[in-house]
């Protein structure tokens, strides 16, 4: 077998099972569960004989957890997959067929379909013309829901920047691929469905939402600073900084605690990133 699937999950529950059900059992799968859920490990390894589940000692975040999974991949190719995705029939075979045909690629991006069975739409990796949406094409960026990777092309690039705990990881990775003059291709024949906003079970919606807001702001500033310098990053983030301050005050005065907490977390993420603090915030699952 030439391909291993790597899935990073966090309290995904049945959502992860739905994803695993869609994967041909001939392909090995590595799951990295960031919540230290030993019961999940036992259950999925018992149900899926092709799955090996790793439980880190702490919540590593998306990038570092993917890197842990990648270190244990023994095949030539790997597919980074989100737990809230479903693989269409023959998608993996299509990706492997194109991998053998395109010799110089670093990454392949399948066609990602967003939505349920009643309304589906394609998520564009980058802005494509109508005439380009159904043809194999060299592109500069792929969405992180499903990324097919040629491992040997990454020896000098490295994989995910572990300073990102959440968000911007695949944007950063694609940028480094392009800067090294390596190739990314869009493969429309391979299709993956993305059921957005369902990567975790609903019991943890509030703490996960607060965490997402914190990390989106932290990662935004870090990314801009990494590639454009601190003054550019400050200019880009200043409107969000000002907006967060105003909205924390406004929602405090109007006693809308939920909204206030969201913007407090956004403000904290921005400030911590500006101060050069590590991406330390973790969702509180005890409330």
Residue boundaries of the structural domains of the chain: 3-194, 202-274
Q: pLDDT band for position 201 (50/70/90)? A: low
pTM above 0.85, yes or no: yes
* Mean pLDDT (whole number) for 63-74: 97
How confident is the prediction for the chain on average, in pLDDT?
90
Lowest-confidence pick of 37-46, 116-125, 275-284? 116-125
Q: At what angle do helices 14-21 and 38-47 cross, to 10 degrees?
A: 20
pLDDT at 246: 98
pLDDT at 119: 45
Q: pLDDT band for position 130 (50/70/90)? A: low
* Mean pLDDT (whole number) for 233-259: 96
Indicate the fold that domain 3-194 takes in CATH. Spore Coat Polysaccharide Biosynthesis Protein SpsA; Chain A (3.90.550)
Q: Distance of CA 123 to CAs 44, 53, 166, 219, Å?
A: 29, 29, 20, 22
């Amino acid at each position: 077998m030439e391909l291993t699937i790597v899935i990073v999950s966090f309290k995904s529950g049945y959502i992860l099972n739905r994803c695993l059900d869609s994967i041909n059992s001939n392909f090995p799968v590595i799951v990295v569960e960031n919540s230290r859920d030993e019961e999940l490990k036992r259950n999925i390894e018992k149900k899926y004989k092709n799955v090996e589940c790793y439980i880190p000692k702490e919540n590593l975040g998306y990038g570092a957890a993917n890197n842990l999974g990648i270190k244990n991949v023994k095949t030539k190719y790997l597919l980074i997959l989100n737990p809230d995705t479903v693989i269409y029939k023959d998608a993996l075979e299509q990706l492997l067929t194109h991998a053998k045909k395109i010799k110089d690629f670093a990454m392949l991006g399948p066609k990602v379909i967003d939505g349920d069975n009643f309304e589906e739409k394609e998520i564009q990796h980058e802005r494509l013309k109508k005439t380009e949406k159904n043809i194999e094409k060299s592109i500069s960026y792929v969405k992180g829901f499903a990324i097919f990777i040629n491992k040997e092309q990454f020896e000098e690039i490295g994989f995910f920047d572990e300073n990102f705990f959440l968000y911007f990881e695949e944007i950063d990775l694609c940028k480094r691929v392009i800067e090294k003059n390596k190739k990314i291709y869009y493969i429309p024949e391979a299709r993956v469905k993305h059921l957005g906003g369902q990567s975790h079970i609903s019991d943890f919606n509030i703490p996960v939402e607060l965490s997402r807001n914190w990390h989106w702001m932290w990662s935004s500033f870090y990314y801009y600073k990494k590639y454009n310098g601190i003054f550019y990053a400050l200019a880009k983030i200043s409107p969000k900084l000002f907006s967060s301050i105003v909205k924390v005050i406004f929602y405090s005065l109007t006693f809308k605690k939920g909204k206030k907490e969201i913007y407090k977390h956004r403000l904290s993420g921005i400030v911590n990133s500006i101060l050069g603090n590590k991406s330390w915030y973790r969702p509180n699952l005890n409330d």
